[in-house]
Amino acid sequence: MGRYIARRFLWTLLVLLVLSLVTFALMHAVPGGPFDREKKLPEEIIRNLEAKYHLDEPFWKQYLRYLNDVLVPRIAKGEPKSLMEESLIDIKLWDDYHLRWVNLGPSYSSRSRTVNDIIREQLPVSFQLGVAALTIAVLIGIPMGIIAGLKQNTIWDYLGMSVAIFGVSVPVIAMGPILVWIFGVMLKWLPPTGWGAKPPYILFFIPKDLSWNFWRYVLMPAFALGLGQSAIIARLTRASLLQVIREDYIRTARAKGLPERLVVLRHALRNSLIPVVTVLGPMFAAVVTGTFVTEQIFGIPGLGKYFVTSVTNRDYPVIMGTILLYAIFLVLANLVVDITYAWLDPRIRYE
């Protein structure tokens, strides 16, 4: 297993390298530039800005410069002297020396911030929302799918699948305003917009203050985002469980006199969860790195809007930062999924 994980990490580096090259080429191929405005800037100012951010250099030299900033660690003394020295990974070594690594550069649209600042400040908020939404999705979807699968063609099956169809059919862009109007405006039980969590955080994303003031901001957006995900999980769990409980080894377990609870939990459920776990990996990467619609509806200061605005603003460093961040989460989530396969099904081995 250790050798398999090591190989996967080496492949991850190659995937990120290829992805960075493709993204870098595509964003430079799109018409327009980061300094285009409705009122065109003078040519001299544009040339100075391009020279400042090295956009006047050949494509290959810009890409190598970017890789050098991201991949090469640097040991520096004291605090950063400029935005270009800001680093996402800053580890204190000795005295006032720091190991600075992964410098994604300054944002072209937010001149006072770097891409590292944007990720450092906005990612914890999106991560909190995504984890809460995925938790709700799993707690609703898996039990609902199990009940529907075990009680096929009964009222419980029809009720569960009706809820699942509703969750799939009503997107967040419709569910969000309904929840805000009911619980935030009419009943005034929950705040309609905003986010209660404030730094400092524990373990990067868990806020120190986990009182009701935090959860009352989380409930509505997490439910709106998690309901659609729970519908997908419920339908997949039901279909997989219906297939597994008809296998020969399930009939054999029942013929040996095992209690139905053990047959379901020990034999049927574990194997039926393999397709569900497969979906949970990409789903986790998608929701924890920012969801544009949910964050816009509920006024959450997350990372989602930067996935969209960075493209419209031709903000090249932010585009690269957000794409690579999503790719890292996706690759790591898929690695965890593959490891979970071996726990769910002992027949799966990685040599």
Please give the model's pTM, rounded to 2 decimal places.
Answer: 0.88
Distance between terminal CA atoms of the chain? Answer: 6
pLDDT tens track for 314-347: 889 999 999 999 999 999 998 888 888 878 777 7
Instruction: Compute the distance between CA of residue 282 and CA of residue 330 in angstroms, rounded to an integer.
Output: 6
Handedness of CA 207, 209, 210, 216 (dihedral sign): negative
44-53, 204-213, 238-247, 290-299: range with lowest mean pLDDT: 204-213
pLDDT tens track for 97-114: 777 788 888 888 887 788
Please give the distance of CA 1 from its chain centroid, rounded to a whole number. Answer: 26
Q: What average pLDDT does the structure give for the chain?
A: 85
Instruction: Compute the distance between CA of residue 331 and CA of residue 346 in angstroms, rounded to an integer.
Output: 23
Query: At residue 282, what is the residue type?
Result: P
Among candidate residues 197, 200, 223, 203, the one with its CA nearest the CA of residue 132: 223
Q: For position 110, what pLDDT does the model report?
A: 80
Helix (H) or strand (E) holding 98: strand 97-101
Burial class from Cβ neighbours inside 10 Å (0-12, 13-18, 19+) for residue 211 reads exposed
CB proximity list for 183: less than 8 A, separation 6 or greater: 189, 190, 220
Q: For position 273, what pLDDT does the model report?
A: 86
The model's confidence at residue 351, banded by pLDDT at 50, 70 and 90, is low
* 8 Å CB contact between 7 and 338: no
pLDDT tens track for 142-178: 999 999 988 888 999 899 889 888 888 888 889 999 9
Q: For position 89, what pLDDT does the model report?
A: 78
The model's confidence at residue 21, banded by pLDDT at 50, 70 and 90, is very high
Helix (H) or strand (E) holding 115: helix 115-150
Give the 3-state secondary structure of residue 208: coil
Helices (H), 260-315: 260-262, 269-288, 292-297, 304-312
Percent of the chain with pLDDT over 70: 95
pLDDT, average across residues 230-259: 86
Say if residue 282's pLDDT is above 70.
Answer: yes
Q: For position 179, what pLDDT does the model report?
A: 92
Q: Give ∠ CA 121-127-128 in degrees, rounded to 5.
A: 100
pLDDT tens track for 182-195: 998 998 899 988 88
Strand partners, 63: none
Instruction: Compute the distance between CA of residue 92 and CA of residue 73 in angstroms, rounded to an integer.
Output: 13
pLDDT tens track for 198-237: 777 777 677 777 778 888 899 999 999 999 899 999 999 9
Domains of the chain: 117-344 (1.10.3720.10)
pLDDT tens track for 42-87: 888 888 888 888 888 888 888 988 888 888 777 877 766 566 667 8
Q: For position 258, what pLDDT does the model report?
A: 81
